[in-house]
């Protein structure tokens, strides 16, 4: 028997929060014991506070939990706090918890690029958790803060990791085709997106490019040395419910063997796979050889949404081109949070 790790969840009623609730409900050793939401919902049962949009019913072990505040006092008796808070609320709330000694693993953007805060996509850079050994001293915090990347950066960083030797010597052009769920449940009106494409997502392009350099960087001494990635990103909102796709073009003069590239992807494994962690996909990168794959309707749920799918891999006119697809709510948000916690437990940080 494994001792249960007691977890509280901030922002539990939103899209990502609901996904976390569902993933945690059957977890072998993470037990969700506290749920938090907006002040108007405090004291109500979870089932009476949430507009449940996940398939299936609210998990039995969660539906009657009372909504608590985001204050430290309501979370002081848990082992770890997970955050699915909106970006505009996250910084002050998470900081109070960390300063008071809590471990916070957050999906929100504040502090992602802070040099003392690890930005973790477990298969890509689990070693960056070493920053936690110096974070408290540098920041004067009693607890730890760990961040997840932007959902699109999380997905795009996966295939770049096994290609880093090529990518760091090249110009990278990425065009992302991002599902409406990336903007939240009420983020884009039906009239704005139905039958339409919006060629701009505020703040997204710079965010993805910057986060890719940190995610693929090397931990040396007491700091992360960012990867030398020269990346330009164009982000486009498309009328798809779930699934962020990226067209990655790596401009390279190197000789590229496509079959060898495919093998790099198929053979890619990291600590979560080696340790057989509960939320880890068996194959983090799935290669499709069909000329019309990946597609969100067919591929977004691969490995319970935790794998990314790569297709249309080709090299012509000095361009290595591939199409990447991942589940923005699972691999890009809820699932990556839980997998990060599993890695932290494995490494003794929890």
**Which positions are annotated as active-site residues?**
151, 244
The Cα–Cα gap between 245 and 341 comes to: 26
The Cα–Cα gap between 345 and 350 comes to: 5
The Cα–Cα gap between 117 and 29 comes to: 25
Q: What is the DSSP letter of 283?
A: S
Extract long-range pairs of 265-271: CB within 8 Å, 24+ residues apart: 265/159, 265/162, 265/310, 268/123, 268/161, 268/162, 269/123, 270/122, 270/123, 270/124, 270/126, 271/122, 271/123, 271/126, 271/343, 271/346
* C-alpha closest to that of 287 among 299, 275, 297, 269: 299
């Amino acid at each position: 028997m494994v001792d249960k790790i007691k977890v509280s969840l901030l922002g539990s009623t939103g899209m990502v929060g609901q996904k976390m609730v569902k993933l945690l409900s059957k977890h072998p050793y993470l037990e969700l014991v506290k749920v938090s939401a907006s002040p108007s919902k405090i004291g109500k049962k979870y089932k009476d506070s949430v507009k449940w949009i996940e398939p299936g019913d609210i998990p039995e072990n969660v539906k009657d939990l009372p909504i608590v505040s985001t204050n430290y006092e309501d979370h002081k008796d848990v082992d770890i706090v997970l955050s699915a808070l909106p970006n505009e609320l996250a910084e002050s709330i998470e900081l109070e918890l960390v300063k008071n000694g809590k471990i916070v693993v957050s999906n929100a953007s504040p502090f992602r690029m802070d040099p003392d805060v690890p930005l973790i996509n477990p298969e890509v850079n689990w070693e960056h958790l070493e920053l936690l050994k110096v974070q408290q001293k540098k920041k004067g915090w009693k607890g730890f803060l760990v961040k997840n990347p932007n959902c699109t950066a999380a997905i795009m960083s996966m295939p770049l990791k096994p290609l880093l030797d090529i990518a760091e010597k090249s110009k990278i052009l990425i065009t992302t085709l991002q599902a409406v769920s990336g903007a939240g449940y009420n983020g884009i009106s039906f009239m704005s997106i139905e039958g339409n494409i919006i060629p701009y997502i505020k703040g997204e392009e710079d965010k993805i490019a910057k986060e890719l350099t940190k995610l693929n960087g090397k931990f040396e001494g007491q700091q992360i040395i960012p990867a030398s990635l020269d990346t330009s990103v164009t982000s486009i909102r498309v009328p798809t419910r779930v699934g962020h796709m990226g067209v990655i073009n790596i401009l390279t003069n190197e000789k590229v063997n496509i079959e060898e590239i495919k093998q790099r992807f198929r053979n890619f494994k990291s600590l979560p796979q080696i340790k057989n962690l509960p939320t880890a996909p068996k194959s983090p990168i799935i290669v499709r050889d069909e000329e019309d794959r990946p597609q969100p309707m067919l591929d977004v749920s691969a490995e319970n949404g935790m794998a990314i799918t790569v297709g249309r891999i080709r090299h012509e006119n000095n361009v290595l081109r591939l199409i990447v697809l991942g589940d923005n709510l699972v691999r890009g948000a809820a699932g990556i949070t839980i997998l990060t916690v599993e890695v932290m437990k494995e490494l003794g940080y929890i």
